Every structure is written in structure tokens, then in C-alpha cells.
Chains A and B, each alone.
Chain A
Amino acid sequence: MRIVNHPILTFPKQDMVTFTLNGQTIEGIAGEPIAAALHAADVKVLRHSHGRHRPRGLFCAIGNCSSCLMTVDKIPNVRVCIEPLRAGMVVETQEGKGKIV
């Protein structure tokens, strides 16, 4: 969900772009972190851990903790909390360590 009214901050309406998550089309703001766009669309499970396949989501939001690794445009282990969203990105929930090529 996006904040509409806030007593201190203003979030001007911005142009939306589309990208896909596991093949499904989602809208987000170009330049915002992919994780922000996903949270705005209520998507919280970003990957499954490699040992016990546990769901993992966002934790630190500053590129530090590696909880939010996803596969973006076929590249695994992208920290989506700091990776800016671009139109047409192909984002996938990452399973384990992800596949390189």
C-alpha cells in the first residue's frame, strides 16, 4: 500500500511503469527500489532460503543484510531493497542460491 495522506511528507503522484513478478504484471514507480514496488503491491515473500526453503522478505532496506535477494533479469542475488526499478524488469522469487545462466 502507498501512503496517500501524511501530516509531514508529500508523495507527489509519479508515472508508473510495469514490470513482471514470476510472469505476473505489476506496476511501480521508476527509480524506486524494486522492494518498495513489491511492498506497495503487497508482495512480501521475496525468496526461499537454500537450506530449509523458508520464505524470506525485506529486513534492513539499506543493502546490508542479504535477506531480500531476488533474481532480476536472470541475474540472481540482486538486493532488491536498493536496486532501482526500471520498466520491463523481469523479477523472480529466488529459490536457494539462484541459478547463474
Chain B
Amino acid sequence: MITTEILIIGAGPAGLMAAIHAAEAGAKVLLVERADRLGGQLIKQTHKFFGSKAEFAGERGMDIAEKLINLSSDISGITIWKNAVVLGIYPDGVVTISHEGAFCTVSPKKIIIATGASEKTMAFPNNDLPGIYGAGAVQTLMNVHGVIPAKRILMIGAGNIGVIVAYQLLQAGVEVAGIVEAAPQVGGYRVHAAKLQRHGVPIYTSHSIQSAHGDSCLEGVTICRLDEQWQPIEGSEQYIAVDGLCLAVGLSPLTELLWQANCEMKFAAELGGYVPLRDANMKTTHENIYVAGDVSGVEEASAAMVEGKLAGLYVASVLGHKKDSFTKEFQTAKSQLSALRSGPASVKICTGLSKVVLEEVG
């Protein structure tokens, strides 16, 4: 049995920040990641981030990932396991992990779950045809592995991911046939949408996908216009020939471990689905389990990083590792989060959070 003070599950933006800040405060951290590399989905973000300097605004996601990965490797208090899949969290506090194929048991004092989220799909005829991808999958293929998944792609969803990935497709030399958005307006950052419009990419607002077509692979898509009640308008169908379809229709938190550990969960559509109840310090209803990042509600990576910092600082302090600057750093992180969530685009997030963030948990 391996013992550690803090076990952090997931080495994306939230997990890395949690590990760095907990270890800097003096805690012993075991950071486990199921993939063969650290950084989570930051490594495929080629665009520059918004926010303030404290959240690395103006830097590309992949460069932020590199910084955090280097920092986490330089701190002696952090042990990193890659290719490490957490199998279960047991009632006696023991966590079982498959690390490089070997079965291990770990006994941590506290756990921070930062497992992230996975892409949602959408119901329409033939939605399982090869050539239909999650937008993140396309980003991984082209930005991490340098492979183009199709010649001509239609994007579903004009939120941030939809408009950003559509622009990245253009950068990779793929023809973007258009972006289809059910809402009457673009949800993503205007600056990205404007870039696409300058490139002549049509954005079909108040439209949805009706069906996909193809024999063994995707050959085309029928879209249609929606009325004010979001119902298809008869006769408005149009066929678009594409060999790729990208779904950017949201993410669901990867909460399996939280369910298994009996954390109290609540459905908040604004946050992507079921998320754990927690207090403002990221503590769940389980005495020893904390959360950070998309697993606690889908937001931008900037927010995930600050939540990771909060959770890392706080859990370290609970274990007696409190830097002199703790109060100041902790309050700064809280104000950073409030600032990130203050814009008009964050109203939905705040509504969701008001349902699941409690004054006191357990």
C-alpha cells in the first residue's frame, strides 16, 4: 500500500494547478493521469486564452500546458503517474489504481477529483456514421497528431468550442462548409465568429441537423431551419455535401468516481449534467473528497485552473500546510474566479452554481 497526503485524479488544467499549489505549500502529492501525457485537453488548444494575466491570458492553451507540466515536474513534493487509471474509491479510503498495467492500492488522506468532462453527442438519424466526430476529437487529431480527419466539415454548435475549432480547421487547411446553431444567435466569443465570417464561412443560426447520410462513411447532412419554438420548419431542408461532421454540443462532467464514493450529486443543466454538491472551498459531501475543474461543472479552462489552485491551497491547509501568504493567495484566487464569472456569458454558469454550491456541506 502506498500512502500520500493528497491524491489528485486527473492532470489537466485543474489537477495540475491543484498539485502545484498543494505541493508548494508543503503537501506530499500523488498526481495520477489516465493518459500517457499530462495537460489534459489544454495540449490541443492552439488559440490564445482570455481572462486576466493571472489566468495566463494572451497565451495559447498548449503553451500554458507546457508551463504547468514543467512546474509540476520541478516540484519535489509531486509524484506523477501517467497511464494510471483509478478503478475505485473504497469506503475505508483506499483507492485502487491500474498504473502502467499493474494493480496498486493507495491510501491518501485527502482526494481531489479533477477528471474533467467528455463530449456530448446528439440524436439524429445515422449519427453513428464514421466521419461524425466530437469537436474535441477533431482538435486532438489535427492539433496534437497533425492529421486531418476530413476534407470538408460542417460544425454543429456555435458556442466557444464550435467557433474556435471551426477556425482551427481552416488553419489546418480543411474546408469548413458552415456552422449550424439552433439558437437565434452565436453563443461563442464574437472575435472568433467574426474571423470565420471574414473567411466566408456561413453561420446558420436557428438551424439544426435533421439527418446524416452515407453508406459506410458520412457523405452529407440535411439541415433545416427552426421556428421560434425550436421546431423544424417544413420545406426548409437543405442538403450539404460533407465528409466530416463536428459536434460541438457541450460536455458532460466525468463524475463516475464521485458517484461511486457516494458524494451527493445534483443535476444542473447549466453545468453540463450531474455535478457534486460542494462548498466554496471545493469540498464535496464526502469528508475527504474535493473537486476542481469541469468535473464540478463545465466551464472554461481558465476557471478550471483557478478552481484547481483553490482546492490545492485549501486541502494543503486542512492538512496543516499553510504558507504565510495563504489567506492572501486564497482570497485572490476567489476574486479571480468571481471576475471570470462576471460577464454576461457567465450568467448561465452562475445559475448552475447557485444550485450546487452550498454554504456548508455534509
Question: Chain A: residues with CB nearer than 8 A to chain B?
Answer: 1-9, 11, 32-33, 35-36, 39-40, 44-46, 49, 54-65, 67, 81-82, 84
Per DSSP, chain A at the interface is loop
Is A65 in contact with B217, judged by CB distance below 8 angstroms? no
The 4 closest A-B pairs by CB, nearest first: A57-B130, A61-B137, A11-B146, A36-B145
Is B96 at the interface (CB under 8 A from chain A)?
Answer: no
Q: How many residue-residue contacts, CB under 8 A, span A and B? A: 99
Q: Which residues of A contact B131 (CB under 8 A)?
A: 44, 57
Is B140 at the interface (CB under 8 A from chain A)?
Answer: yes
Is B36 in contact with A84, judged by CB distance below 8 angstroms? yes
In the complex, 10 of the A-B residue pairs with CB atoms within 8 angstroms, ordered by the A residue number, are A2-B147, A6-B172, A8-B46, A8-B60, A40-B147, A55-B130, A55-B217, A57-B133, A65-B118, A67-B128
Is A6 in contact with B36, judged by CB distance below 8 angstroms? no
**In this complex, what residue of B is CB-closest to A55?**
B216
Q: Which residues of B contact A44 (CB under 8 A)?
A: 130-131, 217
CB distance from A45 to the nearest CB of B (A): 5
Is B345 at the interface (CB under 8 A from chain A)?
Answer: no
Is B201 at the interface (CB under 8 A from chain A)?
Answer: no
**In this complex, what residue of B is CB-closest to A32?**
B145
Given A3-B146, A55-B216, 13 more A-B residue pairs with CB atoms under 8 Å apart are A2-B147, A2-B148, A8-B46, A9-B46, A11-B146, A39-B147, A44-B130, A55-B129, A55-B217, A59-B121, A59-B132, A60-B137, A61-B138
CB distance from A69 to the nearest CB of B (A): 13
**What is the interface size of chain B, counting residues whose CB is below 8 A from a CB of the partner?**
35
CB distance from A82 to the nearest CB of B (A): 7
Is A9 in contact with B146, judged by CB distance below 8 angstroms? yes
Is B130 in contact with A46, judged by CB distance below 8 angstroms? yes
Which of A3, A11, A35, A60 meets B173, CB within 8 Å?
A: A3
Is A64 in contact with B118, judged by CB distance below 8 angstroms? yes
The answer to whether residues A36 and B141 also contact, given A1-B147, A3-B147, A60-B118 and a CB cut-off of 8 A, is yes
Complex Cα distance A1/B243, Å?
A: 13
Q: Which residues of B contact A33 (CB under 8 A)?
A: 145
Is B148 in contact with A3, judged by CB distance below 8 angstroms? yes
Is A3 in contact with B142, judged by CB distance below 8 angstroms? yes
Q: Which residues of B contact A39 (CB under 8 A)?
A: 141, 147-149
Q: Which residues of A contact B132 (CB under 8 A)?
A: 57, 59
Q: Which residues of B contact A6 (CB under 8 A)?
A: 146, 171-173
Is B134 in contact with A59, judged by CB distance below 8 angstroms? yes
CB distance from B16 to the nearest CB of A (A): 17
Q: Which residues of B contact A56 (CB under 8 A)?
A: 128, 130
Which of A9, A40, A45, A59 meets B137, CB within 8 Å?
A: A59
**In this complex, what residue of B is CB-closest to A81?**
B137
**In this complex, what residue of B is CB-closest to A83?**
B36
Q: Which residues of A contact B172 (CB under 8 A)?
A: 3, 6
Q: Which residues of A contact B46 (CB under 8 A)?
A: 8-9
Residue interface bits B149-180, CB-to-A below 8 A is 1, else 0: 10100000000000000000001110000000
Is B128 in contact with A61, judged by CB distance below 8 angstroms? no
Complex Cα distance A30/B171, Å?
A: 25
CB distance from A54 to the nearest CB of B (A): 6
CB distance from B12 to the nearest CB of A (A): 11
